[in-house]
Copies of this chain bind each other. A is one copy, B any other.
Amino acid sequence: MSVTAAEGWKAAGVRAGTKPSGELDLALVVSDRPATVAGAFTTSKVPSAHVQLCRPRVAAGHSRGFCVSAGIANAFTGEPGVRDAEVMASAAAAAVGVEENDMLVAATGTIGERLPMDLVLAGVSEAAASLSVDGGAAAADAIRTTDAYAKTAIRTIEIDGTTVTIGGMAKGAGMIAPRMVPQATLLVFLTTDASASAELLRDVVTGALPRSFNAITVDGCMSTSDTVLLFANGAAGVNAHGSKAFADAVTDVMAELAYAVVADGEGASRVIRVRVTGAAGDADAYAAAREVAGSVLVRCAIFGGDPNYGRAVQALGQAGCALDPDKLRIGVGGVELSVGGEPTGRVEEAAKAIAGDGDVIIDIDLGLGSSSFEYLTCDLTPDYVRFNAEYTT
């Protein structure tokens, strides 16, 4: 159901022809009434044409929905690319009968290619004609590129005795290392039927990002097109203002989708959780966790079933965080392997603990303070390399 789980939302996923595979590749999602919106975009200095178009529209705080094209990113396409994005948005707005500025657009796929506008516009018309309250699954399918499967998440909460639903969908498996700020080719769309001011939505997204999409990496490559959007249309008849349950539920949906992106990382066989504790400060905890999660050597070791904590030490050494090797404790798979540079001799035990394909936890206690951070990544496999040597993004 994804983005159509909440009341008042319809969606469609159709074949426009922008994916060479001939699969669903255009999604349209629309609220049946006015809605508020907030979002976050890539911090790339080469933001895609769609990101450029959407920033001011999202800043305005209101929207009726969005349209997504998969296969071509419409990034690094200059001024003509921005005009294509505008035409796509205008056509979608007209097809569903909403104000032009109330339609948002996104695209994902190859960088440096123009959109085939004839195919996109025909797709928009077809999608508008097939909007449905059951269209969430098709929409989640249509926004995929290298994703092995569609990623959706739903939470239902009560606010003042009224049921509120938050549904979301995400795409992304490669070029994943978002560093989004509220102004991130990860595309994430959440809809709710609570009513909420754009300011509240902005606060909720900003609060959820550091522990969801900004805490994952597949390949260390931040996309030109990363986008997270949260829409609220009030169809449930209750306002989310002051509801911690609402903020928590949005955070849960975003965290579930973020985990799903890493689990579906290109070529990945398993998820790695890098848990840093005892850092001198929050920035240090983040830097340490990010550097270890970003290490290709650590990720190769885990693919090989090797609890190689020395590679985590290497990464910590270049992380830029406060560090005292004598206070450092490292464990893998719940088995402590080194205390201040003294090996515990439990490597074989750790290797047994991480056998199989479950999540692997790397615990790093810096022993300096009380700040902590968890960063998610996936193992690096020969399939990742083969895939990215053959596929053009």
A residues sitting closer than 8 Å to B (CB atoms) are 42-47, 73, 75-81, 110-114, 174-175, 177, 179, 219-224, 294-297, 300-301, 303-306, 308-311, 313-319, 321, 323, 325-326, 328, 337-338, 340-343, 380-382, 384-390, 392-393
Contacts of A303 in B (CB 8 A): 385, 389
A115 to chain B, nearest CB (A): 13
Known: A296-B221, A318-B44, A385-B385. A313 touches B111 (CB 8 A): yes
A314 and B44 form a contact (CB under 8 A): yes
Identify 15 residue pairs between A and B in the complex whose beta-carbon atoms are under 8 Å apart, listed by A's number: A44-B318, A45-B316, A76-B338, A78-B326, A80-B342, A81-B341, A112-B310, A113-B310, A113-B343, A221-B314, A304-B388, A306-B392, A381-B385, A381-B389, A385-B385
Contacts of A113 in B (CB 8 A): 310, 343
Contacts of A76 in B (CB 8 A): 310, 313, 325, 328, 338, 341
A386 and B382 form a contact (CB under 8 A): yes
A310 and B110 form a contact (CB under 8 A): yes
B317 and A224 form a contact (CB under 8 A): yes
A341 and B389 form a contact (CB under 8 A): no
Nearest residue, chain B, Cβ from A307: B392
- Give the dominant DSSP class at A's interface: loop
Most B Cβ at <10 Å: residue of A309, A321, A340, A341: A341
B325 and A46 form a contact (CB under 8 A): yes
Neighbour of A297 across the interface among B46, B219, B306, CB < 8 A: B219
Contacts of A304 in B (CB 8 A): 388-390
A341 and B308 form a contact (CB under 8 A): no
Known: A76-B310, A220-B294, A380-B385. 18 other contacts (CB 8 A): A45-B325, A46-B313, A46-B317, A46-B323, A46-B325, A78-B325, A81-B341, A112-B309, A112-B313, A112-B338, A113-B310, A175-B297, A221-B311, A222-B314, A297-B388, A301-B392, A308-B392, A385-B385
A300 and B81 form a contact (CB under 8 A): no
Neighbour of A44 across the interface among B78, B111, B317, B328, CB < 8 A: B317
Contacts of A111 in B (CB 8 A): 310-311, 313-314
User: Closest 6 interchain pairs by CB?
Assistant: A111-B310, A304-B389, A44-B317, A78-B341, A300-B388, A382-B382
Nearest residue, chain B, Cβ from A320: B45
CA distance A1 to B39 in the complex (A): 62
A354 to chain B, nearest CB (A): 13
B309 and A385 form a contact (CB under 8 A): no
A107 to chain B, nearest CB (A): 13
A343 to chain B, nearest CB (A): 6
